């Protein structure tokens, strides 16, 4: 059992990736850019700004800073119109198990200012503002190790006492680059091999598998 667990948010805490992918697809389509779901899932973990600038670069359509902000605001609006995200099946049991045994952190590329309020609505009393790393806290988003390094540094624990819980290849790469044990939970449309090839130390198909592993690790 580790002393601190660093949870990604989208696709780990919330089943929000389908609506994120659809929101990105709709908004980028207005700019003549195709952003299919698998490509979106593969790039999950980047900050919104990084995603927009990356799409602009690969499509040879550079965006101005004003356009980047407008696209991100529109994508956020559409995402909420689609319904946002609900707690992922099995995540409440995982969090309840860990709540009295370890610190629970959130490390997300999300930049919405109401992230804490969203988490408090779905997981009351589980998370603390000071144990969150968002897009506003870093210069470099995932796959850069900075988000998880910031969480590790703030936790005050040794790296061997921390564990990353991710569902995205870029998040897994970020966790491993930070020198932390990184566990993948394949909750979306990707293949298990997408997560293992990204460097995950362990890969589970759902939260039930993750919970069983956590329980066994305490023995």
Q: What is the pLDDT of residue 116?
A: 86
205 catalytically annotated: no
Residue 196 contacts by C-beta under 8 Å, 6 or more apart in sequence?
A: 184, 203
How many CB atoms are located within 10 Å of the residue 161 CB?
17
Please confirm, yes or no, whether 8 is among the known catalytic residues.
Answer: yes
Whose tokens are 């490390």? That residue is 107
- Asked: is 17-81 a CATH 3.40.50.1000 domain? The reply is no
Catalytic residue among 10, 50, 73, 206: 10
- Its CATH class, for the domain covering 4-16+86-217, is alpha beta
Query: Which residue ranges does the chain devote to CATH 3.40.50.1000?
Result: 4-16+86-217
pLDDT confidence of residue 113:
72
- pLDDT at 112 (0 to 100): 74
DSSP the chain: --SEEEE-SBTTTEE-HHHHHHHHHHHHHTTT----HHHHHHTBTB-HHHHHHHHHHHTT----HHHHHHHHHHHHHHHHHTT--EEPTTHHHHHHHHHTTSEEEEE-S---TTHHHHHHHHSTTT--GGGEE-GGG-SS-TTSSHHHHHHHHHHT--GGGEEEEESSHHHHHHHHHTT-EEEEE--SSS-HHHHHHTT-SEEESSHHHHHHHHHHHT-
Beta-strand relationship, 202-204 and 86-87: unpaired
Among the listed residues 8, 137, 161, 205, the single catalytic one is: 8
Given a contact cutoff of 8 angstroms between Cβ atoms, the answer to whether 59 and 29 are in contact is no
Predicted confidence pLDDT, tens digits, the chain (219 residues) = 899 999 999 999 999 999 999 999 999 999 999 999 999 999 998 889 999 999 999 999 999 999 999 999 999 999 999 998 999 999 999 999 999 999 999 999 887 777 888 899 999 999 999 999 998 899 998 999 999 999 999 999 999 999 999 999 999 999 999 999 999 999 999 999 999 999 999 999 999 999 999 999 876
Report the alpha-carbon angle 134-138-144, nearest 5. 100
């Amino acid at each position: 059992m580790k002393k601190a667990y660093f949870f990604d948010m989208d696709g780990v805490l919330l089943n929000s990736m389908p609506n994120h992918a659809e929101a990105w697809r709709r908004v980028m389509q207005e700019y003549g850019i195709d952003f299919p779901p698998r490509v979106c899932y593969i790039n999950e973990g980047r900050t919104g700004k990084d995603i927009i600038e990356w799409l602009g670069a690969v499509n040879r359509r550079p965006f101005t800073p004003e356009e980047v902000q407008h696209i991100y605001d529109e994508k956020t609006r559409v995402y909420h119109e689609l319904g946002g995200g609900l707690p992922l099946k099995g995540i409440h049991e995982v969090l309840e198990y860990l709540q009295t045994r370890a610190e629970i952190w959130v490390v997300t590329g999300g930049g919405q200012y109401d992230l804490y309020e969203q988490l408090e609505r779905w997981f009351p009393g589980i998370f603390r503002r000071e144990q969150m790393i968002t897009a506003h806290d870093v210069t470099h988003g995932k796959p850069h190790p900075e988000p998880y390094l910031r969480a590790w540094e703030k936790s005050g624990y040794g790296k061997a006492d921390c564990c990353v819980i991710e569902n995205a290849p870029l998040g897994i790469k970020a966790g491993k680059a930070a020198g932390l044990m990184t566990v993948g939970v394949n909750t979306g449309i990707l293949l298990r091999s997408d997560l293992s090839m990204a460097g995950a130390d362990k890969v589970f198909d759902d939260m039930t598998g993750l919970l069983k592993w956590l329980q066994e690790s305490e023995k």
